Amino acid sequence: MSIDQPSILSYLHPYDVLSSDARNDILEQSTWINVGKGQQIYACGDHLKGLYIIGSGQVSITDASGAPLSLLNRENSFGERGLLRDKIAVTTATADEDCRLLCIPAALFRSLLTQHEAFQRFFDRSGPAAPSRKADLTSVRVEALMATGPAVCSPDTSIKTAGRIMRDGRISCLCVVADGGLVGIVTLRDIVNKAVAEDLPKDTPVSSIMTANPRVLPPSAIGSDVLHLMMEYRLGHLPVVSAGRLVGIVTQTDLTRFQASHAASLVAQAAHARSAADLAEITARIPGLLVQLVAAGNRHDAVTRMITDIADVVTRRLLRLAEEKFGPPPAKYLWLACGSQGRQEQTGVSDQDNCLILEDGTSDTDLEYFQPFAQFVSDGLNACGYVYCPGDMMATNPLWQQPLSVWKDYFKGWIASPSKEAQMLASVMFDLRPIGGDESLFDDLHAQTLNAAAGNSIFTAHMATNALTHATPLGLLRGLTTIRAGEHRNTIDTKLNGVIPVVDLGRMYALQGQLPALNTRARLEAALSAGIISESGGSDLIDAYDFVAQTRLEHQANLIKQGRAPDNFLPPATLSGFERSHLRDAFVVIKTMQSALMQGRGALA
C-alpha cells in the first residue's frame, strides 16, 4: 500500500511542523517518480537530484564497496547525507521492489535546511556535516536496524523442516507463530544443543525445543536497548513486535552492520577529501569508532579490519592528491603497506610501514618524481595519525623505493644470506599488501618469494629463530611478569609481548605451508586446515590469540573513553582475577607453540 500522496507530508517528521501552505509548496515543486524492481536510483559518486521519500516499495542502501548499510521502506527518506556534502552521493540506492518515490529537489531541500531549524536538527544530526552528533546505538531506532519479513514457521513444524528452512535461507533462526502471534523462536543452536545432542526424532515439533514467549522489542526502541538485552540475557536474536504483530527481527549481525556503516561513512568521506587536512579531520574520529565497535561486542579481527579499511582509503586518496599536485606519474608504480596495515590489523595505535615498487626501466629522471611524491603521501599519513615509522620502513627511504627487479634481488639476497638484518627485513616484507597503483607489479612476487623461502631450509630455520625473539610475559612459575622500570612500570606490553609473538608464529606457518594469507588469524586458520599445526594446538592458539588481541583492544577503548591516548601497556592490576587467569593461560598456550616451533614439531603441538 502506498502513502496517500496529497497528505504525505502532513504526518512525516519534520514536515509536520510546517504550515499546510508550506507543505503544499514543497509538493508542487517536487516530483513523483516510479522505479522498477532492481533499478538503481543513484550510485556512489553520482550527482544527487534531491532527497527521496519512499511512498511505496523497498530500497536498499549500500556503501562504496557494496556492503549493505540499511533497508528502507515506506515513509523512510534517503539521499540527505550526499546533499549535505556537495550533492554527491556517498552511497548507492537500489529498488528492491517496484517503488514510487517523491523527489524533493536538492536546491529546495537545502533552502529548507536554512529556513527551518527543525530541518537542520533532523537531517544534520547524524550526517558527515555534523560529526559531533553522529548516530550511534543510543539514537538509532530498532526499525532502522531490524530485518523485515523474518522467516517463520508453526509450532508443529518438524525440526528437520526447520533446519532445512534455515539452511536454504542461510539464516540462523525462525520465529514461531500461531494464530497470527509470536509464540516462540528456534535457532540453529537450539537444533544442535537440544535436538541433535539429545538425538531427538527428526519429526519432533519445534515447539519442544523453541524458546517460548521470547523477549521482544517494539520498533520504537533504540539500538542500545537491543545491545543491553542481548548482553544481559546472552541473546543472538530479538524479534520486533508492534501491536502484537511480528514485524521484524534484529540479530547480532545487524548490530555489527550498523557499526560497520560508521566505518563506511568515514571511508566515503575520505574517498572524496580535498586535502590532507580534511583527511586528518576524518581520521580524528577513528578512536570514537573503535570505542563503538568494541562496545558493540565485535571481535578484534572485525574491528581491526574496519579500521585498516579506513587507512587504505586515506592512503589511496593521498596518492591521488599527490598525482594532482605533481602531475601524472612518469612510470608505473605500486604503493604497498606492510606491518599491521599490511596484515589488516590496525588498532588505535599505528605507525606507517610502506614502500614503493616501480616498473623496470624507470629512469633516474623519473625517480626524481617519486621522492617528493612519496614524501607528500608519508607526510599526509603522519598528519592523519599514522606516525612516521621509527625504523624508517617507509617509501620515502630510497632503499624502499625501487624498481621491481631490485625488489626481486632484495628477496633473493635475504633468502640466500639470512643475516639478522635480512631476517628482520624479510619478516616485515612477507606482510606486503598492495594499496594503490598498478597491482600487476606485484603479480606472482609474493607467491614466488614464499616458494623460494620455503625451499631454503637454512633460511626457514633462521626465520624460526627470529620468530621466537618476542617472549610472552610469563615468569618461571608461569605467572604474569610486568615491565619493571620506566613510564610503563607494572604493565604488560600487549603488542610486543602479546600479539606480536602470535604474528611471528602465523608468519612462520604461512612460510612453511606457502600460504597466501596475510592476516594473522587467517594464517592460523589456514595453517590449521593445512595440517601445519595440530587440531588441538591450532585451536588453542587461535583462542589464545583472540583473548589477548581482544584484551588489547578493550584496554585501548577504555583509555579513549577516559579521554586518554590509546596505548598497548596494560596494568594487570586493573583486571579481575578471572581475566588475569585467562590472560596467563593464553600466554602459556602461545609460549607452548613457540617451544614447539623451536623444536621443529609445530604440527605435533
pLDDT digit string (tens) for 63-78? Answer: 776 766 666 777 778 8
Q: Residue 343 and residue 340: Cα distance in Å, rounded?
A: 5
The confidence score (pLDDT) of residue 3 equals 42
Delimiting residues of CATH 1.20.120 domain(s) in the chain: 468-604
As a whole number, the mean pLDDT across the chain is: 86
Look at the block and give the residue holding cell 618476542. 470
- Options 1.10.240.10, 3.30.70.1520, 2.60.120.10, 3.40.50.720; which CATH number does 5-131 get? 2.60.120.10
pLDDT in tens, 91-143: 889 999 999 999 999 888 888 887 776 676 566 543 333 333 345 676 677 88
Query: Does 145-255 carry CATH code 3.40.50.2020?
Result: no
Q: Residue 220 and residue 217: Cα distance in Å, rounded?
A: 8
Three cell numbers written together for 114: 536554512
Checking if the pLDDT of 6 tops 80, the result is: no
The confidence score (pLDDT) of residue 503 equals 96
- Report percent pLDDT > 70 for the chain: 91
- The strand pairing partners of 95, in sequence order, are 59
pLDDT in tens, 379-389: 999 999 999 99
The confidence score (pLDDT) of residue 136 equals 63
Q: Residue 340 and residue 503: Cα distance in Å, rounded?
A: 10
- Please name the amino acid found at residue 105: P
DSSP string, 2-35: ---GGGGGGSSTTGGGS-HHHHHHHHHHSEEEEE
Give the burial string for 515-531 (b: 16+ CB within 10 Å, else e): bebbbbbbbbbbbbebe
Burial of residue 380 (number of CB atoms within 10 Å: 0-12, 13-18, 19+)? buried
Is 247 within 8 Å of 220 (Cβ atoms)? Answer: no
Delimiting residues of CATH 2.60.120.10 domain(s) in the chain: 5-131
The confidence score (pLDDT) of residue 498 equals 95
Checking if the pLDDT of 427 tops 50, the result is: yes
- Options 3.40.50.1220, 3.30.460.10, 3.40.1380.10, 1.20.140.10; which CATH number does 273-464 get? 3.30.460.10
Average pLDDT estimate for 182-195? 94
pLDDT interval class at 283 (50, 70, 90): very high
Delimiting residues of CATH 3.10.580.10 domain(s) in the chain: 145-255
Indicate the fold that domain 468-604 takes in CATH: Four Helix Bundle (Hemerythrin (Met), subunit A) (1.20.120)
Delimiting residues of CATH 3.30.460.10 domain(s) in the chain: 273-464
If one counts every other C-beta atom within 10 angstroms of the C-beta of residue 265, the result is 24
pTM summary value = 0.64
pLDDT in tens, 308-348: 999 999 999 999 999 999 999 999 999 999 999 999 999 98
pLDDT in tens, 45-62: 888 899 999 888 888 888
The confidence score (pLDDT) of residue 516 equals 86
531 contact partners, CB below 8 Å, separation of at least 6: 603
User: Sign (positive/negative) of CA torsion 511, 514, 520, 526?
Assistant: negative
